């Protein structure tokens, strides 16, 4: 359960900011993202206010940070009305003593999950948002876990590289006696993932996705066929799920907080306004000109719920073409395996116990399949006894209720990625009903009551 010392948060308008460094360290260890601590005098420091207004609450920074950073606010207000609790003040003083002993405001310090300093910078008036993001990104490949990112492991036949890509922990494995071939294929798969990240990223200003978003409501944008086809497939999933999946979800104006600070629902008007620009029907494709047009100004598209699955598919294809008959790509939980393990058995994917998520209670045997899980164990809001997930229904603006996690088993990682999010939004009944109509696709759901629900033909193996 994530907690904070106080409800007031200077930068909390759009994305989650923690006020407890220990909680942030726990999140960093789980996500493999570095921690960004921002030291600020929110009500007296003019550069701090500019940093907030020009950078920290911008849509570009929020989109980047939501995937790549754990954010901590260390505020030092001067006015009595903004006074923090004694506990929070002591916490912030200790942080400043450790990381900002000279009292530089504003100051942004990057840490790993152990609290080791990676880098830091202050407010730079000649910097654009992309410059800040580029600086933070320079640390995104650094080691963040006990094994270390960018690590390499191998046995007689199994060769594995672990690193951070697309804001997530990737693990790419090849089972191959020819060591040189294995590493060549792994590196080729990683290069392909990086290429796709550059293609679909909405925070890189020179990407075609960013160009589509900039020209929303203005004019169509001609794009590469690969991106055009990905958007086309995404719209097919939107139609299949009646809008439960929608890449124009990137237009969401955030009115919900899942840091423990919310005690009541936002107004109906605020909720309706938050999703006013989300509508996949307003994504116009022209096959003849190969253009994409967002009809309304302010619309945005993003591939957070489909991109890693597509990247995993592509890495697998590249590696297979190079002769890797047995392998595995784990793209931040979007997993696809082909062939067999080193011992000749099929791949086995563990299923976490809903009451003890670090414990495996059953497993799936997969052959040339992908397994994608969308979870909601920590990020939620409890309001009037109801548990609201951090996953928002793009059709209503309301957080979903009823499910803690969704696992989809499917030959295609891209489709599994999209369906996992869709089923979360559709809910238990409609979600399972949809999967039961799709050939070769199965799902496993964990309800808020920790009950296990599955589609008709899912075969689970249980530990005694």
pLDDT 10s digits, 171-187? 999 999 999 999 999 99
Interstrand relation of 117-122 and 107-111 (parallel, antiparallel or unpaired): antiparallel
Of residues 122, 42, 45, the one with CA closest to residue 75: 42
Q: Residue 137: its pLDDT value, please?
A: 75
The CA distance from 319 to 262, in Å, is 46
Nearest 5°: phi and psi at 185?
Answer: -70, -40
Report angle CA 391, 11, 168 to the nearest 5 degrees: 45
Of the pLDDT bands very low, low, confident and very high (cuts 50, 70, 90), residue 3 is: very low
- Reduced to 3 states (helix: H, G, I; strand: E, B; else coil), residue 425 is helix
Nearest 5°: phi and psi at 18?
Answer: -90, 155
Q: Residue 388: its pLDDT value, please?
A: 85
The CA distance from 248 to 302, in Å, is 7
Convert the pLDDT of each residue in 105-140 to its tens digit.
999 999 988 898 887 888 887 788 888 887 787 665
CB 163 within 8 A of CB 313: no
Q: Residue 374: its pLDDT value, please?
A: 84
What order do you get walking across the sheet with 70-75 strand by strand? Answer: 70-75, 35-40, 107-111, 117-122
Q: Residue 136: its pLDDT value, please?
A: 80
Average pLDDT score over residue span 57-85: 89
Q: Give DSSP secondary structure letters for 187-214.
A: HHHHHHHHHHHHHH-SSSTTSHHHHHHH
Secondary structure element (H or E) that encloses residue 447, with its range: strand 442-447
**Cβ-based neighbours of 185, under 8 Å, separated by 6 or more:** 174, 176, 318, 319, 322, 323, 324, 327
Of the pLDDT bands very low, low, confident and very high (cuts 50, 70, 90), residue 329 is: very high
Nearest 5°: phi and psi at 453?
Answer: -125, 135
Report the percentage of the chain scoring pLDDT > 90: 55
Convert the pLDDT of each residue in 240-281 to its tens digit.
999 999 999 999 988 988 877 888 999 999 999 999 999 999
Q: Residue 463: its pLDDT value, please?
A: 53
Average pLDDT score over residue span 366-374: 89
The CA distance from 151 to 155, in Å, is 14
Q: Residue 455: its pLDDT value, please?
A: 96
Least-confidence region, from 83-87, 189-193, 291-295, 442-446: 83-87
- Reduced to 3 states (helix: H, G, I; strand: E, B; else coil), residue 88 is helix
How is the chain split among helix, strand and coil, in percent rounded to 5? 35, 25, 40
Q: Residue 11: its pLDDT value, please?
A: 53
Residue 2 has pLDDT above 80, yes or no: no
How far apart, in Å, are the Cα atoms of 20 and each of 113, 119, 303? 13, 20, 30
Strand segments, DSSP code E, in 11-157 are 35-40, 70-75, 107-111, 117-122, 151-154
Average pLDDT score over residue span 214-235: 97
- Does the predicted TM-score (pTM) go above 0.85? no
Q: Residue 138: its pLDDT value, please?
A: 65
Q: Residue 148: its pLDDT value, please?
A: 40
Q: Residue 128: its pLDDT value, please?
A: 83
pLDDT greater at residue 28 or residue 397: 397
Average pLDDT score over residue span 409-417: 96
CB 266 within 8 A of CB 272: no
**What is the sign of the dihedral through the CA atoms of 10, 12, 14 and 16?**
positive
Least-confidence region, from 87-91, 98-102, 299-303: 98-102
Residue 142 has pLDDT above 60, yes or no: no
Secondary structure element (H or E) that encloses residue 331, with its range: strand 327-331
Of the pLDDT bands very low, low, confident and very high (cuts 50, 70, 90), residue 203 is: confident
DSSP class of 52: I
Nearest 5°: phi and psi at 454?
Answer: -130, 160
Q: Residue 417: its pLDDT value, please?
A: 95
Of the pLDDT bands very low, low, confident and very high (cuts 50, 70, 90), residue 339 is: very high
The CA distance from 264 to 98, in Å, is 36
Q: Residue 121: its pLDDT value, please?
A: 84
Q: Residue 420: its pLDDT value, please?
A: 95
DSSP class of 82: G
- Reduced to 3 states (helix: H, G, I; strand: E, B; else coil), residue 251 is helix
Mean pLDDT of the chain: 87
The CA distance from 346 to 366, in Å, is 6
Average pLDDT score over residue span 282-291: 97
CB 387 within 8 A of CB 262: no
Average pLDDT score over residue span 414-436: 96
Of residues 174, 148, 188, 166, the one with CA closest to residue 68: 166
Least-confidence region, from 85-89, 148-152, 311-315: 148-152
The CA distance from 36 to 14, in Å, is 16
Convert the pLDDT of each residue in 24-55 to its tens digit.
998 888 777 889 999 999 889 989 999 998 89
Provide the CA 56 distance to its chain's centre, in angstroms. 18
Residue 413 has pLDDT above 90, yes or no: yes
Least-confidence region, from 228-232, 269-273, 385-389, 405-409: 385-389
Length of the chain: 464
């Amino acid at each position: 359960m994530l907690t904070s010392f106080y409800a007031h948060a200077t930068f909390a308008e759009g994305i989650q900011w923690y006020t407890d460094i220990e909680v942030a360290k726990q999140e960093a260890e789980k996500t493999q993202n570095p921690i960004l601590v921002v030291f600020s005098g929110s009500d007296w420091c003019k550069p701090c206010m500019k940093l907030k207004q020009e950078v920290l609450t911008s849509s570009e920074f929020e989109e980047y940070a939501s995937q790549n950073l754990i954010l901590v606010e260390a505020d030092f207000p001067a006015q009595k009305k903004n006074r923090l609790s004694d506990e929070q003040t002591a916490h912030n003083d200790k942080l400043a003593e450790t990381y900002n002993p000279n009292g530089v405001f504003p100051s942004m310090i990057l840490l790993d999950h152990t609290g080791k300093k990676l880098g830091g910078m202050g407010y730079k008036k000649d910097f654009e948002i992309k410059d800040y993001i580029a600086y933070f990104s320079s640390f995104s490949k650094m080691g963040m876990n006990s094994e270390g990112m960018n690590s390499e492991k191998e046995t007689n036949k199994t060769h594995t590289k672990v690193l951070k890509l697309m804001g997530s922990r990737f693990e790419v494995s090849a089972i191959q006696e020819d060591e040189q071939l294995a590493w060549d294929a792994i590196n080729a798969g990683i290069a392909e993932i990086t290429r796709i990240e550059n293609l679909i990223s909405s925070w890189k200003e020179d990407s075609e996705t960013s160009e589509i978003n900039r020209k929303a409501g203005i004019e169509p944008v001609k794009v590469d066929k690969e991106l055009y086809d990905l958007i086309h497939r995404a719209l097919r999933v939107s139609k299949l799920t009646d809008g439960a999946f929608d890449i124009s979800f990137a237009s969401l104006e955030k009115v919900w907080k899942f840091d423990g600070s919310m005690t009541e629902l936002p107004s109906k008007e605020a909720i309706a306004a938050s999703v006013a620009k989300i509508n996949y029907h307003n994504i116009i494709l022209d096959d003849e000109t190969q253009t994409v047009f967002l009809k309304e100004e302010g619309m945005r598209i993003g591939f957070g719920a489909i991109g890693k699955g597509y990247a995993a598919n592509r890495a697998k294809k590249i590696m297979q073409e190079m002769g890797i008959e047995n392998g595995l790509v784990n793209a931040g939980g979007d997993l696809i395996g082909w062939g067999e393990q080193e011992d000749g058995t099929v791949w086995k994917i563990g299923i976490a116990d809903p009451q003890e998520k670090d414990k495996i209670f059953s497993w799936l045997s997969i052959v040339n399949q992908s397994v994608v899980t969308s979870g909601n164990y920590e990020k939620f809001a409890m309001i009037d006894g109801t548990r609201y997930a951090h996953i928002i229904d793009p059709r209503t603006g309301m957080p979903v209720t009823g499910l803690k996690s969704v696992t989809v088993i499917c030959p295609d990682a891209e489709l599994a990625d999209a369906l996992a999010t869709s089923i979360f939004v559709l809910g238990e009944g409609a979600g399972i009903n949809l999967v039961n109509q799709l050939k070769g696709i199965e799902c496993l759901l964990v309800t808020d009551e920790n009950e296990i629900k599955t589609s008709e033909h899912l075969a689970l193996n249980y530990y005694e």
